[in-house]
Structure 1
């Protein structure tokens, strides 16, 4: 499917379009609330979609057959499950949404986000590795290595989606398409842990996905409570050093830094829903454990590109 725009307030038509544009899936929602808009920029095997889902939409989908990335701008995507893990995403998150060969399901909650898809073989070609077993290069985590890596990939996707893929001259040039494809794949490999990384080795006990899963479940259930790294390690069933190593290896950050990011997401969600006449940034921030206004504002601006006062005013 080449570049296209779709808009509908009909649940059946929306499901039919999603089946054509992505893969076979079933969606659910309240018919009277349906509002969906999707615009696609595409060239050969690469597509970048800007999606607005203005209702609570559940989805249960077959494998896509392509690498799929998702970046959330507003709202949230909850209970997203695929390949043995489950997570939730909010504004500022850029994630590996689903492996090419795995089904996925979850719920979109009045969200604006983008979906970037491309053939998995592109990662292997760009990585330039020789593998005796002919196994493709694969991504090892659904979260990027670091915030900076995610920001770099986000800028690359925005550049390709806004300027390159919509350009007919680019789409008609094999040389330019090859350049675009190489840029995207290289940025993805730089952003996510993958099997082409020279120092990649099998996960050990301190970095098993189960450790991360238990730790994240604990954090998400205790956002409003006083938590330290020892509490997180205990909930994950490993030592403090082990949980720190696991977070750094799989999420590119520390457990407490990740907790602060989750709380920052709650601050943003509350500011977006608040009445400026009745709420203050300081009051909302304090409810989520941020007592130094300057540091919180700086961290907020770094993640969301605006000051919290701007979010509240909007």
Structure 2
């Protein structure tokens, strides 16, 4: 993950160049001397940006080809997309534009928090069985479905930002990969789109014991890897909906809960074998993708009847 040093610019052309590189080709104009402070946390398949400006900026942006979710934290934004105008006040969450559409906006002074998500990641999180729906996911509106789902999206972004600002967590591929998928899932939940969310007849047929065995074998072989529900479903040759239904039908839990249990088992084995003089519970938890160490401790105690610290000390 790349953590960029905050940049401060006072020239409209320099601001235009910076934002064009971060999002898409754009023109930036201001009737006042602009001042923009910009910071990015780049995690590969997604990035978290913050920018704050002191002047009114008029921007014209070419199609993004990515998902860009904005929160007008203290600024206000007047956006126009294919004749549809929208005004976003402080606290509002919205898509800057639909990925294949240009847009124009007037950005008032203040702060905007941005999340840039690879469209392929969003499509992968929502993926169905190979060949069943070849068309990509399309977003139908830049406005969230409700204030509740918008608030959930923002809390997810805040959680992910905290993770990325923790060097230990940010260095873990398992944690960063999980964070990416949480953001993509929250975005799919927040904004209307064409993703299928309910099992089809084919999904119900595919939710078999054979599917479960294939999926469990894949998870057991790749527990230490950054794998997603889409990866597990692909290995089992079914859709994500069929995979989820198979696990609920035969094990009473979702597939990612099974993966978490498998990782907890490996963390337990590591703690049993570790030297307490050179190993910490936090390091083991992070290695196996548990970003929140207090939740790891609670889950561990519920599963094994003792704290991970007790196991590490071999008491």
User: Partner residue of 1:217?
Assistant: none
Across the aligned residues of Structure 1 and Structure 2, the Cα RMSD in angstroms comes to 2.0
Map 1:165-184 onto structure 2 (within 5 A).
165-184=164-183
Q: Which has the higher strand share?
A: 1
TM-score (norm 1): 0.58
For the residue of structure 2 that corresponds to 1:18, the secondary structure is helix
Does the aligned pair in 2 maintain the 1:77–1:107 contact within 8 Å? yes
Partner of 1:28: 29
Q: Using the alignment, how far apart are the partners of 1:20 and 1:60 within structure 2? A: 14
C-alpha distance in 2, partners of 1:31/1:72? 21
CA distance in 2, matches of 1:160, 1:59: 28
Distance in 1 of aligned mates of 2:90 and 2:195? 29
Q: 1:59 corresponds to which residue?
A: 59
Per the normalisation by structure 2, the TM-score is: 0.58
CA distance in structure 2 between the aligned counterparts of 1:96 and 1:11, rounded to whole angstroms: 24
Q: Structure 1: any 5+ residue segments left out of the alignment?
A: 200-314
Kept in 2: contact 1:76–1:109 (CA 8 A): yes
- Work out whether residues 52 and 111 of structure 2, in 8 Å CA contact, stay in contact via their aligned partners in 1: yes
Task: Say which one has the larger Rg.
Answer: 2
Runs of 4+ in 1 over 4 A off after TM superposition: none
Q: Does 1:72 align with 2:72?
A: yes
Sort the Cα spacing of 1:65 and 1:168 in 2 relative to 1 into closer, same or farther, 3 A.
farther
- Superposed counterparts of 1:165-314, under 5 Å: 165-198=164-197
Pairing 1:155-170 to 2, within 5 Å after superposition: 155-161=155-161, 163-170=162-169
**3-state SS of paired residue (1:176):** helix
The answer on whether the counterparts of 1:171 and 1:177 sit within 8 Å (CA) in structure 2 is yes
Offset, 1:12: 2.0
Structure 1 CA distance for aligned equivalents of residues 53 and 46 of structure 2:
22
In the alignment, structure 2 segments of 5+ residues that lack a partner are: 199-315
In structure 2, C-alpha distance between the alignment counterparts of 1:44 and 1:169, rounded to whole Å:
17
Matched residues, number:
196
